[in-house]
Amino acid sequence: MKIAVLKERRFNETRTAATPESVKKLIGLKHSVAIEAGAGVTAGIRDDDYVAAGATVGSVADVLKGADIIFKVRAPDAAELATYPKGAALLGLLDPYAAKKEAAAYAAAGVVTVAMEFVPRITRAQSMDVLSSQANLAGYRAVIEGSQLYGRAMPMMMTAAGTVAAAKVFVMGAGVAGLQAIATARRLGAVVSATDVRPASKEQVASLGAKFIAVEDDEFKAAETAAGYAKPMSAEYQAKQAELVASHIVKQDIVVTTALIPGRAAPVLVTEAMVKSMRPGSVIIDLAVAQGGNCPLSKPDEVVDVNGVKVAGFTNLPGRIAADASALYARNLLALLPLLTGENAAFAPKWDDEIVKAAVLTKDGAVVHAALKDG
């Protein structure tokens, strides 16, 4: 197959969908790889590095000519989509829950689209799990950004001039991003606590050396879906949770919020009153800002100052660690490729495979994913 890798054109996107390492492996699998000039620069990769790995580097037209598969990080806009060859397959982070209109355009363009976010979280697909690979780095980076915005030290320090207190970090939502945030904050020497609504997270939080704080009622005991995600919680639970969080947050220095419900707006966990109860110099990092935010005061790609409390809404934290995020993302794509490949390295998707079925949005000129079909 000819695999095309294009430069990312979305605002703030610094990652790239192939690295010299992934190119070498693709060439080893008998594919050819064409990279748009400059595609890796923001992730620290020169065109020459790709060429040394066996790729060709050229213009958009060169790269897309005869391409079977297009590797992207983010979805194309209409102008970019118009350049894609009919029948080619696009693999990327296509934001599928919000992509009804876009899916119709992909279908009309005759492009096969694979939304990497829809790859099921089953054991066989772990190596393809972009949500985990990117959330893990986002959780790490959130704490690094938080420590940067925080005007004080993270670890306790005993010096001849006196003692510096350790920062108190509170992580809300202890999934993939939250657990890495906890581990990172602990490594930096902070005193860490965390909350979640899934009972399974309690032990994971404790195993990382953080204190678990949650309303552990009957609803909490049943809050995990069969797929391992959190259910939306009732208004009654949310009120109890808010009361508990309000009394805890007032003593915290850095709060990292990561709570998400797939396909829905993020739950509000940190109210304006809670933000105002925190002392000046404290920091909130809202990882859910792109899904509406866990804090109503967070704004996309801004650090808002609320009475001295900094509320940061970075929409692309993995993009702030672009080299590593690209390397992991490129490996995720590489792991999925055999499901789209037949004999002699030809383009032959295994349409009946459960992973392919779950992730394909469009094929044969039609929207095929149940979540995006009309009606």
Ligand X SMILES: NC(=O)c1ccc[n+]([C@@H]2O[C@H](COP(=O)([O-])OP(=O)(O)OC[C@H]3O[C@@H](n4cnc5c(N)ncnc54)[C@H](O)[C@@H]3O)[C@@H](O)[C@H]2O)c1
The residues that touch ligand X, with contacts defined as CB under 6 A, are 121, 126, 129, 131-132, 135, 172-178, 195-198, 200-201, 228-230, 233, 258-262, 267, 269
Task: Give the side-chain half-sphere CA count within 13 A for 301.
Answer: 7
- Of the residues 49, 229, 277, 324, only one is catalytic, namely 229
Q: What are phi and psi of 94, to 5 degrees?
A: -100, 10
CB of 164 to ligand X, least distance (A): 31
| 74 counts as catalytic | no
With respect to ligand X, which residue has the nearer C-beta, 89 or 177?
177
62, 97, 121, 238: which one is catalytic?
A: 121
Closest CB 168 distance from ligand X, rounded Å:
18
Token reading at 346: 């030809």
Smallest CA-to-CA distance from 277 within 297, 300, 257 is with 297
Quickly count helices (H) and strands (E) in the chain. 13, 17
| Shortest Cβ 360–ligand X spacing (Å) | 20
Q: Of 50, 74, 132, 134, which is the active-site residue?
A: 132
Closest CA to 356 of 373, 371, 368, 366: 368
When the beta carbons of 105 and 233 are compared against ligand X, the nearer one is 233
In order, the DSSP letters of 132-189 are HHHHHHHHHHHHHHHHHHSSS-SS-EEETTEEEPPPEEEEE--SHHHHHHHHHHHHTT
Q: Which residue is nearest to ligand X (CB)?
A: 175
Our CB check for ligand X shows the closer of 21 and 224 to be 224
Minimum separation from the CB atom of position 93 to ligand X (A): 14
Q: Choosing from 126, 148, 207, 234, which is the catalytic residue? A: 126
Known catalytic residue at 132: yes
Nearer to ligand X (CB atom), residue 112 or residue 269: 269
Long-range contacts of 99-103 (CB under 8 A, 24+ apart): 99/75, 99/361, 99/372, 100/372, 100/374, 102/75, 103/361, 103/362, 103/367, 103/369, 103/372
Considering the complex, what minimum distance in angstroms separates the CB of residue 208 from ligand X? 13
* Catalytic residue chosen out of the listed positions 68, 129, 253, 286: 129
- C-alpha distances (whole Å) from 33 to each of 37, 57, 108, 247, 290 are 13, 9, 26, 55, 32
Nearer to ligand X, 67 or 174 (CB): 174
Is-catalytic flag, 286? no
252 as an active site residue: the answer is no
- The reply to whether 329 belongs to the active site is no
Active site residues: 121, 126, 129, 132, 229
